[in-house]
Structures are given as structure tokens and as C-alpha cells.
Chains A and B, each alone.
Chain A
Amino acid sequence: MSNAKERKHAKKMRNQPTNVTLSSGFVADRGVKHHIGGGKPSQAEKQEPHSGTGRLWQAKMTSHSLSEPDGNELCSSKVMFKKKGGWKAGPEGTSQEIPKYITASTFAQARAAEISAMLKAVTQKSSNSLVFQTLPRHMRRRAMSHNVRRLPRRLQEMAQKEAEKAVHQKKEHSKSKCHKARRCHINRLLEFNRRQKKNRWLETHIWHAKRFHMVKKWGYCLGDRPTVKSHRACYRAMTSRCLLQDLSYYCCLELKGKEEEILKALSQMCSVDTGLTFAAVHCLSGKRQGSLLLYRANKYPRQVLGPATFIWKSEMTPGDLATCRQLWIWLHPTLKQEEEGTGETPHRWWMEACKNPDSLSLHRRQEAIFELLGGVTSPAEIPAGTVLGLTIGDPRINMPQKRTKALSSPENCQDNEKVRQLLLEGVPVECTHSFIWDQDICKSVTENKISDQDLNRMRSELLVPGSQLVLGPRESKIPILLIQQPGKVTGEDRLGWGSGWDVLSPKGWGMAFWIPFIYRGARVGGLKEAAVHSQYKRSPAIPGDYPDSPAGILFAEEQARNLLEKYKRRPPAKRPNYVKLGTLAPFCCPWEHLARDWESRICAQDESWVSWSPDGQESTSLGRDVVRGAAEPKRASQAPGVPEEMMHMECQAHSGPRRARDPVLREVCIAASGTQLCVLRSRKLLKQLSAWCRPSSEDSRASQRARGGCQEKLTREACLSILAHFPRALVWVSLALLRKGSPEPHTMVCVPAREDVLQLRQDRHYCGPQEPKHSDPFKSKNLKRQQRKHEGRATATELAAGEPVAELEAPTRGLWSGPLPGVTAHCSRPLLGFVTQGDFSMAVGCGEALGFVSLTGLLHMLACQPAAQRGLVLLRPPASPQYRFARIAIEV
């Protein structure tokens, strides 16, 4: 093979002039260097730059680098090459490289050095691969890595060395203890404790770790998603069966003290505007669980912390204000850091115990209610947030032999008066009492738990294998608390979807409850399933959908970083060019920019409105005129005119008199008029917006009723009064696609142009406009940079250290670099907001998305749209030029 190659080379070289021949020889040298990986030959060459033979030999080596050097063959080839090669033909005198004489000793020395270097290079393996991996495929044999003798004899030695090395390395790695010792219980526990120093484990961690992809989040090790394919199965479990999740990573804060004091301290952290607070009557009695939004003290409507749920411990003697009350607040772990500074006496509880339920009658009543619950087929049928305390036996004893499906049997579903009473009134206050509130009892329950090992031993000692284990008085009594979760309560469709129960058990009992639940047919979900659940419920997911909270901002940053890294891993030709697609921010949602842009945009329009208002203001109630009026200034707004400061003042002046009229809202306005972003969460305003978003059909009576009659009409006055209070606000909206399309996170919500709506009205199957291709302003810069790099490589002057610096400076191709220009007017349709959660919804059967839009933009859009088409928007994913129609809705 080598001979043939050489001959070919010689043929090629025959008619070449000398200088070219030599340079090609140089190229061949480089090839050798490359092949052997910086071995000695280059050095040898330096020593003897003028010897043609040396060069020849090296050229030869290209084909022989792997095989052993064969002296005979080399010699013969050299001779042959000399005969045929261009050297003989070339004029000898012209080249200065050919020496007139050579000293034999130095020449031989140099050759000797070369030969030794060559030999060394041949014996030394340069690449990272193992010896047997360098063999050509047809020479490989099964189990070569394991058995050295299967290799060719000449490689056996090297392979032997390698194998020894590998064994040695492994030994260094291995644990100090043998396998058996490592599996010993105490050692395992020590090891487990060491491993959860940084990220705590839940009680069900080991169960999860075997079946789930785990992630380290919020200081815990949590199951992200099951390793089995179970997206649809989990969805079915959510809708009709039971989806189980370990939520013990939620933090519980216990507040103890006088009722008024607690309420007083906490009232600063929440607002009546956003709904009920800690002081709601039914929650205060301990009958129901409440949920609310926490704000930093006295900072409403800005600086939200996040959502929280809470339960008060029910009082045995109501009306006694002097008694000490207990309050549990459940928080997502991302909010913990902020919360702990503000709470009064926050200390984590973790559960308790009970030996003998003293009030037996109460226990009986609770039991009776639990029996009744068997007759309720869906948890959504009973009042929202119902709390029920129970004291139960060991759940491990009644476990079925095999995993079963949970089926409600018809015989315990009698539709009697008692069930009806329960559905109407909920659980009576007395029955909400549970010993789980008592820390000492909880502790004793945890300590006196019979271990799994003992339980199994007792089972094995049973006379009849597999019969029921009767522990009698030794059986532990566990206090638990059941809290109903109402599922989907907002909106109009799929009411009560995803409702369920929270079970609070004492510490240490997690696994004891977990396995029986699974044996009774529950399916377990992880964080991903929780996200799907909240999306189908159309409720905001906890850290991601609170863009004004510190946790939300952190989450967004992290997400953007991950997505960017993922994007950069692909070659530029295999990833979307977001600059050309007109997507300014594909990995994050620039809420601040968005809100600011809309504010200035509207202010610019206001100016033109002022000049136009004399005939327009009277006819605002008609709506249509507003449309025409607002559509014209749109053109004006695109031209950059008045500086932003002035526009802001203009806006303030407009809202001035109205603010004075409403003294209650004035304070809110002062608080909100700062530059900071806030999310509109006032229920009153949201209700109004939600009514405006609906398309008003011909059946005006129905829509009137839906609006509650007393709602204001959508007028410019009303819009301005809202905008004056919340100049830079976002609104949480849900979007349902009309036809095709499944939105993804960071999808852009845009305002449709008039012709889009017209076209949709003419053709029901019209799927939406397309975004024209944008030009890439960074392309020329990129090209220049590339050219420079090429030049640098040609001259070989570029230093190795210089290159990474240049790489850092270079912007990622396909991404917008530098500060963002005006976000709203960058594309052909003005940008309204972004989607934070979005996917094809199996619950509805079409694409559904949740996200935030700018309040200013939304009001402007609604005012511009004709009443029948109100609430139509366009959605465009970051990596697609296609817009799709969607309907916007605000659910309160």
C-alpha cells in the first residue's frame, strides 16, 4: 500500500520545478508533524535543514507512522524516488539547500537522532485512545480490552501497560471499605447525610431517585420528571384519577401569639385589593385554608414576594380573644429567604405525634365525615379549602398485596341528607381539630414509629402468611390534616379541574404514607407535572410567573442563561437566526422595556389625541370613532419625536385631575407612579378588564349579565384613569389559540393589524400573517471579523492567547447584540407581551398559553378593536415567522 502511494507521489512530483518540490516537501513535513503529534522529527529537521534525504524520509513516514520502520523497504524506496523524482532533473546549482559537502560524523549523528526520535514516536501512542482502539476495524476482536492476547503480538506489550494503568487508577478511586461494609446501615446513613449537606433530601428521596430525573433546586433534591414516558398518563391521573406529589419542600412558618398582634403584623404584607387576607372570617375560624399574595411590608402594589397559603388552628373555645393562636403559613422555598426577615417568630416545624386520642367523641365524628367523603366522587364538590383533621392508624398495615386501581364503589355513594349537608356547609369547625398542631405529640409519634424492618419481621412471624397483621395497642396513631385544594376556580370552563387533597403527616411518616398511596393507585409526578398542572389550571407557576418578585427575576436570569448556553452549543447554520426573524429577546422577557415602550408610545399618541379630541370626545361611547382616531396616531407614534421625559409629563398632566377625584386610589397611585414595574393584581380592576376583553356579541343581554350590569363601558376616560394609577403595569392573561399552533415559552403576543382581522373575518381558515425577513445589521461586522481571523491564520502571526479574547468579544451569531432598541415597534405587528407558559393543552384540545401583557398596550388594543373582534391577538414563537390568532382572556 505504501509503495503505491509513494509511486503516486513521485509521479506527481516528476515535472515540478525544484522550489515547488521543496515546498511540497515542507507540506509533507507538516503532515508528519501533525500525524505524530509534535514528536521529535521536527527537531531533527531543524538540525539538518539542507538534507534532501532527510526530508524524503519524512515524506515517506507519512504512510508508515503506525507500522514499524522497516529499513530495507525504506532504502529501496529512497533509491527509487531518487531515480524518478524531480531532484535529478532539477538544476543542482540553483538551490542553496544542497550542500557541497557533508561531514560524515555530524550527518550520521543527526540521522541517529532522527531515527531514535522516530522510533520513540512510533512506540509512543500519541492519541487519547487505547491501543486496541487504534487498530483498523477488521483487526479488532471481541473482548479485546479485556484480554490482551487477542491483540496483535506487537501491540500486546503496550496494551498490557495500559491495562495495568487502568487497574491502578481504579484502585486509587475505590472506597476504603468493601462493598458489604458500605451497604451496612450505619455507613449508608452517614454517606447519605454527607450527600445531602448542600441540598437536602426529602423523605421520599431514595424512592424518587430510582424513578425520576432529579434536579437540585432551592436547596433540595427534587424529582423533576419520571424516567418512564408518562406525560399523558399523568394528565389522565390529574383529570380523573390521582396524581401524587411530594410537596414537603414547601416551607412552613409557624406564628404563635395573640390574634390581633399577628393580624396587625401581617396586614402590612398583604392588601385587600388582591383578595381576602389573613383576617377572612372563615379562615380565621380555622375552618378553611386561605391563600393570598404576600408583598413586602407596606409596599403594595410593588415588590411582591409571592403567593402563600395559610391555616389557622381552630379554637376550642371561640370568642376568647386572649388565647394564644397558632398560624401556619406555607411558602414556596424560593420565597423563604425574603420571608424570614419579616416574620415574627418563624421557626420551622416538622411534625408531631399522638398516643391516645382523648376526646373520643370528636374522633368518631371526624371518622364519620371521612366515611362520608367516600360518597363524594370529586374533591371539587365540597367547599374550597376545607380543612379536616383525622387521627389514623398505621397506613402500612392495610396495604393491598398488589398495586390496585382506586375505584369508588357505588354502594358507599348513597345520596343522603348527610352528604348534602357536607357539600353545603363543609366540615364543622370542631372536626378541623387535629393533634398535628401539638409539637410534643408529633415528636412522640415520630419517635415511636415502628420501623419497616420490625413491621416486616412481625409479618413474617404471622401464623398464616399474608394474613392481616393485628398490632392491637402497639399500633401507632397518627394525627393528620387533610386540606382540600379547589383546583380551577377561575374562568368558565373546566371548573374544579385538578382539585385534590393535601395530606399533612408528622415528620418521618412520609414513606409510610407514600407507598400505600401508590399501592392504592396513585401516580407520582415531579416538578414538570406540577408545572403542567398549574398550566392547565391557568394559574401562575410559582417562581417563573411572578416577574416582579425577586425570586421570579432570579428564575428568569437562570433560564435565560441555560437557554443561551443551549443555543450556543449548536452550529450557527443549525440554529434559528433570531436577528433575521425579528426576535429581539428569545430567551428572556424584557418586561421593563416593554412597559416603558408602551408608556411612551401612548403618550405620543395622546398628543395627537388632544388636537383631535373636540369631535372625538363626544362620540367615545360609540367605540368605533375611537378606533379610527387611534389608528391614525399610530403612524405618528412610529416616528421618534418628543423625548420621553416630556411625554411622561404629558401623561401626568392628563391624569392629574382624575387622581384628585379619587382619594382612595391616590395613595396607590403615588406608590405605583414610580418607575418600577408592577403586576396588576387588584381584583376590581381585573374584573373590569376581563369584561372588556370579551367580544361583545349580538346577545347583549347575556354579556350585560356577565359583566354584572354595573360595569363601566370601555371608554377613553376609563382607560386613562386606570393608566394613571398603573403607568407601567403588566396583566396576567390566558390565551387560547383559535386554530393551529402550539405556543412555547417566550412566544410574543402581538397586536393584530386591521387587515389581519378583516382577512380573518372573510376567511375562517386564515391562519395568520407572516413576519417579513429582517436584515441582519451585525452580519457585516461578523464578516469583517471573520476575514480578519482568516488573514491572521494565513500569516501565522496570531498568538494562541489572542484568539480566545477575540472569541469573547464576538457576539453570538443570530442573536441581537448590544442594547435592545424599541421592543414594541421592532416587528411588523406591535408587541404586546410575552408568554411564560405555553403548550398544547390536552385539557382543551388546542394550544394554550399563559403570560403577561402590558396593561397600557392591552387597553390601547381593546379600544382600537371593533366590539365583535375584541380580544383577538397574534402569537408568534421566537423561532418562527408565522403569526397565529389567539383570543385573550383575563380570569378572575
Chain B
Amino acid sequence: MAENREPRGTPVEAELDPVEYTLRKRLPHRLPRRPNDIYVNMKTDFKAQLARCQKLLDGGARNQNGCGEIYIHGLGLAINRAINIALQLQAGSFGSLQVAANTSTVELVDELEPETDAREPMTRIRNNSAIHIRVFRVTPK
């Protein structure tokens, strides 16, 4: 779901002839989602995503107690926004929320589709950074 951007100026790109290959980006490998996982993207409105997280933490009408913790995932360009959301949540909670961040690297697959019959399709792997922020409730002292 997160925005994945091409890293700039990789040496592989220079070798490629755009006449012979078309670049097709594949979706990042996705793990099954728990209800308290939130993948942040750059397309949805920031406020809407923030409200969604807040709602999960507060507990909607369905589950009264709400989640004790949520995980906010951001990939590539969306890292910034994920951090932003987490900090906004913390700032609006009067000290009852804490955050803990983890970073990781995600392997993304690019497919190179040949333009001519004689060539085989190729795949190449590029890495992109990701962030996983755990936002959890603490009892204020």
C-alpha cells in the first residue's frame, strides 16, 4: 500500500535500454494484516489516516475498549508521513501514548518486460527502507 519509489541513479538503470525493456513495478510483498496494523500511503488524505488510527486506539462503537497498541507501517516516501501520524497521535494524547519505532529494509521486485520477442523477461531487486511504529497506551503517572 505504501508508495514505493525508484531509487535514483542506480547503476543498473544505466545499463537498461528503454527501447528493449519496459519497467513494471510489482507490489511489495505483503504479510497478512492484523486488525491493528495500519499501512500508511501517500494517496489517502493525511487527516483521514490520522483519524483512523485515533479511532482504533480509542475503540469504536463496536469494541468498547479499543486496541491497546497499533502498528503504523510506512514504506519509502510514506515513512515521513508514518512518523508524522505517530507523533500527532502522541501529542494529542496528553501523555497517555508512547511510541517505539523500528526500521527495516524491504525488498522490492521490478519486472523488466521485454519489448522484443528475442529477450527473456528479467527481474531485479531493489531495497527500500520502511518504518514500523508501535503506538501503545501507558498509564500516566
Interface residues of A (CB under 8 A from B): 272, 275-277, 279-282, 288, 376-378, 380-381, 383-384, 408-410, 413, 415, 419-420, 423-425, 489, 493, 495-496, 683, 708-710, 892
B125 touches A424 (CB 8 A): yes
Chain A, Cβ-Cβ closest to B43: A493
B32 touches A408 (CB 8 A): yes
Residue in B29, B31, B125 with the greatest tally of chain A CB atoms within 10 Å: B29
Known: A272-B116, A276-B114, A423-B109. A383 touches B121 (CB 8 A): yes
Known: A410-B32, A710-B18. A381 touches B26 (CB 8 A): yes
A380 to B119, CA, bound (A): 22
B29 touches A281 (CB 8 A): no
Known: A413-B31, A489-B24, A683-B115. A281 touches B120 (CB 8 A): yes
Mark each residue of chain B from 26 to 38: 1 if its CB lies under 8 Å from any CB of chain A, else 0: 1101111000000
21 A-B contact pairs sorted by A residue (CB < 8 Å): A272-B116, A276-B116, A277-B117, A280-B117, A281-B114, A281-B120, A282-B121, A288-B121, A377-B32, A378-B30, A380-B26, A410-B31, A423-B26, A424-B109, A424-B125, A495-B24, A495-B26, A496-B26, A496-B27, A708-B18, A709-B18
B29 touches A383 (CB 8 A): no
Is B12 on the interface with A (CB-CB < 8 A)?
no
Other A-B pairs, 12, CB within 8 Å; known A281-B117, A377-B30, A496-B26: A276-B115, A280-B114, A281-B118, A376-B29, A378-B27, A380-B27, A381-B27, A381-B109, A423-B109, A424-B123, A495-B26, A496-B27
Known: A281-B120, A378-B30, A489-B24. A383 touches B18 (CB 8 A): no
Chain A residues with CB under 8 Å of B114's CB are: 276, 280-281
Known: A424-B125, A683-B115, A710-B18. A381 touches B29 (CB 8 A): yes
Candidates B25, B32, B43; contact of A495 at CB < 8 Å: B25
Candidates B31, B43, B111, B115; contact of A383 at CB < 8 Å: B111
Mark each residue of chain B from 101 to 119: 1 if its CB lies under 8 Å from any CB of chain A, else 0: 0000001010101111111
B115 touches A423 (CB 8 A): no
A708 to B14, CA, bound (A): 11
Chain A residues with CB under 8 Å of B31's CB are: 377, 410, 413, 415
Chain A residues with CB under 8 Å of B125's CB are: 424
Candidates B30, B111, B120; contact of A384 at CB < 8 Å: B111
B120 touches A282 (CB 8 A): yes
Candidates A413, A425, A709, A892; contact of B32 at CB < 8 Å: A413
Quote the shortest CB–CB distance from A841 to chain B (angstroms).
14
A496 to B1, CA, bound (A): 11
A722 to B125, CA, bound (A): 37
A288 to B114, CA, bound (A): 13
Residue in B24, B26, B111, B114 with the greatest tally of chain A CB atoms within 10 Å: B26
Q: What are the 9 closest A-B residue pairs judged by CB atoms, nearest first?
A: A708-B18, A377-B30, A279-B117, A496-B27, A280-B117, A410-B32, A380-B27, A424-B123, A408-B32
Chain A residues with CB under 8 Å of B107's CB are: 420
A409 touches B117 (CB 8 A): no
Chain A, Cβ-Cβ closest to B8: A705
Chain B, Cβ-Cβ closest to A494: B43
Chain A, Cβ-Cβ closest to B109: A423
Chain B, Cβ-Cβ closest to A377: B30
A659 to B24, CA, bound (A): 33
A406 to B40, CA, bound (A): 25
A425 to B111, CA, bound (A): 10
A272 touches B117 (CB 8 A): yes
Chain A residues with CB under 8 Å of B115's CB are: 275-276, 683
Chain A residues with CB under 8 Å of B116's CB are: 272, 276
Chain B, Cβ-Cβ closest to A425: B123
Quote the shortest CB–CB distance from B35 to chain A (angstroms).
12
Chain B residues with CB under 8 Å of A409's CB are: 32
A419 to B107, CA, bound (A): 13
Chain A residues with CB under 8 Å of B26's CB are: 380-381, 423, 495-496
Chain B residues with CB under 8 Å of A408's CB are: 32
Chain A residues with CB under 8 Å of B120's CB are: 281-282
Chain B residues with CB under 8 Å of A708's CB are: 18
A383 touches B123 (CB 8 A): yes
Candidates B18, B29, B109, B113; contact of A415 at CB < 8 Å: B29
Q: Which of B1-57 contact A (CB under 8 A)?
A: 18, 22, 24-27, 29-32, 43
Chain A, Cβ-Cβ closest to B6: A705
Chain A residues with CB under 8 Å of B109's CB are: 381, 423-424
Quote the shortest CB–CB distance from B136 to chain A (angstroms).
21
Chain B, Cβ-Cβ closest to A280: B117
A378 to B43, CA, bound (A): 20
Chain B residues with CB under 8 Å of A384's CB are: 24, 111, 113
Chain B, Cβ-Cβ closest to A489: B24
Quote the shortest CB–CB distance from B20 to chain A (angstroms).
12
A489 to B25, CA, bound (A): 8
B29 touches A423 (CB 8 A): yes
Chain B residues with CB under 8 Å of A383's CB are: 111, 121, 123
Chain A, Cβ-Cβ closest to B44: A845
Quote the shortest CB–CB distance from A629 to chain B (angstroms).
32
Chain A, Cβ-Cβ closest to B116: A272
Chain B residues with CB under 8 Å of A425's CB are: 123
Quote the shortest CB–CB distance from A688 to chain B (angstroms).
12
A330 to B31, CA, bound (A): 34
Chain A residues with CB under 8 Å of B32's CB are: 377, 408-410, 413
Candidates B25, B27, B30, B117; contact of A276 at CB < 8 Å: B117
Quote the shortest CB–CB distance from A430 to chain B (angstroms).
17
A489 to B22, CA, bound (A): 11
Quote the shortest CB–CB distance from A271 to chain B (angstroms).
11
Chain A residues with CB under 8 Å of B24's CB are: 384, 489, 495
A383 to B122, CA, bound (A): 10
Chain B residues with CB under 8 Å of A493's CB are: 43
Chain A residues with CB under 8 Å of B121's CB are: 282, 288, 383
Quote the shortest CB–CB distance from B39 to chain A (angstroms).
12
Chain A residues with CB under 8 Å of B25's CB are: 495
Chain B residues with CB under 8 Å of A377's CB are: 29-32
Quote the shortest CB–CB distance from B76 to chain A (angstroms).
14
A415 to B117, CA, bound (A): 33
Chain B, Cβ-Cβ closest to A497: B27
Chain A residues with CB under 8 Å of B43's CB are: 493
Quote the shortest CB–CB distance from A474 to chain B (angstroms).
37
Chain A residues with CB under 8 Å of B18's CB are: 708-710
Chain A residues with CB under 8 Å of B119's CB are: 281
Chain B residues with CB under 8 Å of A489's CB are: 24
Residue in B24, B27, B30, B115 with the greatest tally of chain A CB atoms within 10 Å: B27
Chain B, Cβ-Cβ closest to A710: B18
A276 to B116, CA, bound (A): 6
Quote the shortest CB–CB distance from B104 to chain A (angstroms).
12
A396 to B58, CA, bound (A): 45
Quote the shortest CB–CB distance from A294 to chain B (angstroms).
16
A282 to B18, CA, bound (A): 19
Quote the shortest CB–CB distance from A471 to chain B (angstroms).
33
A471 to B111, CA, bound (A): 44
Q: Which of B73-121 contact A (CB under 8 A)?
A: 107, 109, 111, 113-121
A277 to B115, CA, bound (A): 10
Chain B, Cβ-Cβ closest to A382: B26
A419 to B27, CA, bound (A): 15
A281 to B26, CA, bound (A): 21
Chain A residues with CB under 8 Å of B113's CB are: 384
Quote the shortest CB–CB distance from A892 to chain B (angstroms).
8
Quote the shortest CB–CB distance from A286 to chain B (angstroms).
14
Chain B residues with CB under 8 Å of A381's CB are: 26-27, 29-30, 109
Quote the shortest CB–CB distance from B71 to chain A (angstroms).
14
A380 to B24, CA, bound (A): 11
Chain B residues with CB under 8 Å of A495's CB are: 24-27
Chain B residues with CB under 8 Å of A419's CB are: 29
Quote the shortest CB–CB distance from A844 to chain B (angstroms).
10
